[in-house]
Each structure stands twice: as structure tokens, then as C-alpha cells.
Amino acid sequence: MPIITLTTDFGLSDSYVAQMKGVILSLCPTATLVDITHKVPAQSVMAGSLILQTAIDAFPDGTIHVAVVDPGVGTDRRAICVRTDRAFYILPDNGLVSLALEKQSFVKAVSLDNAEFHRHDVSQTFHGRDIFSAAAGHLASGVLIDKLGSPAESLELFKLPDPAVAPDHITGEVLLVDHFGNLITNIPQSQLDKTYMVFCDGMDRPIPINKTYADVTEGTPVSYIGSTGMLEIAIRKGSAAGVLNRAAGDVVRLTPLDIT
């Protein structure tokens, strides 16, 4: 039974996600469909790529990942299927696959330009249903990736911004705010080679780096290495984004404890 995941910025207020699932199941009734999320921040390719990357290691080899965060829908941007050593990715060629390819080895990619494997009357604004979901259903039912279209020789890729590292501080940024209001930064655990305090612009007091939420009292800011391997900032039993008035793109600064 093939596994197909779905990651989109479509939300759940409309029927868009259900339509995608209906197309897939019409082509491959035995597919197991798993929602990663449909609440990617609207049109944020970087956030979609990061969320997808955090999920893929949990799935077995051969999983088909359909991801649709597609500000360029209806333009000349390509629809692609990427095969790695562990999975397939069906998505727009706008960088959405970038961070998955940092975890898995690239094997091949094709443009989804064989109309035989599209739905009839493709909408210019809903390729998620008419091209991506259709391709996923055909792939899951046994169609080979090479049948879906012509080889894609190069892909649109990006890298996450690296933190700026200096002898007396590290400057990073908030990449993503999760459902709990936790702030996920671009500062990896590997950068924390000494004891640091965390500063956010506009805050009078630094935030110590602890192991988990329970290391501080309720309502207190705390920072820690989260499940992504990156530094995160939270409020125990609260929203760091709300209490600290932080959002994606905001600066986070780390200073070694001995010079604070």
C-alpha cells in the first residue's frame, strides 16, 4: 500500500485538500494518505521546505511526498517529480524541495509535462489537484517516474540563511513560528560550543539555554535545542511569538555567558 503525504498552504476552510485526496484515491484507491500540514504560512516556500524537511525522516522508503506552496501557479514555473534515494517529491520547481535534498541523495528529476498523466481541463490556478495529485496517483499505481515527463536537468534550490558567527556573539534569525508560538531559529546545535545567553531585540533580560520547557517556571521564556536540531525560543505554557512579539525574520543574538 503506497504512502502519499500532503503538505500545502491551503488551510482547511475550503475543499482544496479534499479535492486533491479525491484525485489521488480515484487513481490509486489503496493509497494511504498522510497530512503533514495544510497550514504552511501562505506562499512561504521557505517555511514549506523547512516543515517538509522536518517530517521526511519519519516515513518509510518509497513514500511519495506531494507539496504545494506555489506562488507561481499558472506561470512558466515547472511542475516536477524528484526521486531521491529514499522517496519521491511531487511539487513546483520553486525551491520547495531544497531542504529535503540536504537530507537525502538526489537520483533524478522529471518535469511533469506529459499531459497523459494530468487531469482533463487543467485549471491555471489549481495545479495541486490537476497536475501534482494526478501525478502522485499515477506514480502510486505503478507508473514509472520517467513516464511522467521529460528529464529536468537543473532545479531551483536555495539554502537557509546561515547565522553570522563572531568571537563575541552569534546573530541568527527566526525561521518559523510553530503552532504553539515557539520560535524556531537558524542557529544549529553545532554552533553552541560554549555557554550562551539568548537576546531578542526589545527584551531587557536574556534567555538562558536549557534542556526543556520544565526547566523554567510557567510563563517564563526558555530556549533549548528543539527536535529540528535548531535553537528554539518558547514560553512555558504560553506563546513566545505573542508574548515576545516575535515573527519569522526577526533577529536573535547569542552572547557567551562570560561576557554578558
Per-position b or e across 137-150, b if 16+ CB within 10 A of its CB:
bbbbeebebeebbe
- When divided into structural domains, the chain yields a total of 2
Same domain, 184 and 113: no
Instruction: Please tell me the pTM assigned to this model.
Output: 0.93
Alpha carbon of 168 to those of 63, 174, 222: distances in Å?
44, 20, 21
Does any domain span residue 249?
A: yes
pLDDT digits 0-9 by tens, 80-132: 999 999 999 999 999 999 999 999 999 999 999 999 999 999 999 999 999 99
**Containing domain of residue 100, as a range?**
3-148
Same domain, 139 and 23: yes
- Name the grid cell of 253: 543574538
Same domain, 26 and 134: yes
Check: CB of residue 10 under 8 Å from CB of residue 68. yes
Does any domain span residue 172?
A: yes
The label of the residue with cell 524528484 reads 82
- Name the grid cell of 212: 526543556
CATH number at residue 7: 3.40.50.10790
Same domain, 75 and 174: no
| Lowest mean per-residue pLDDT among 145-154, 198-207, 240-249 | 198-207
Closest CA to 180 of 241, 133, 244: 241
Cα separation, 137 vs 179, whole angstroms: 30
Three state DSSP letters for 191-249: HCCCCEEEEECCCCCCEEECCCHHHCCCCCEEEEECCCCEEEEEECCECHHHHCCCCCC
CATH number at residue 213: 2.40.30.90
pLDDT tops 60 at residue 183: yes
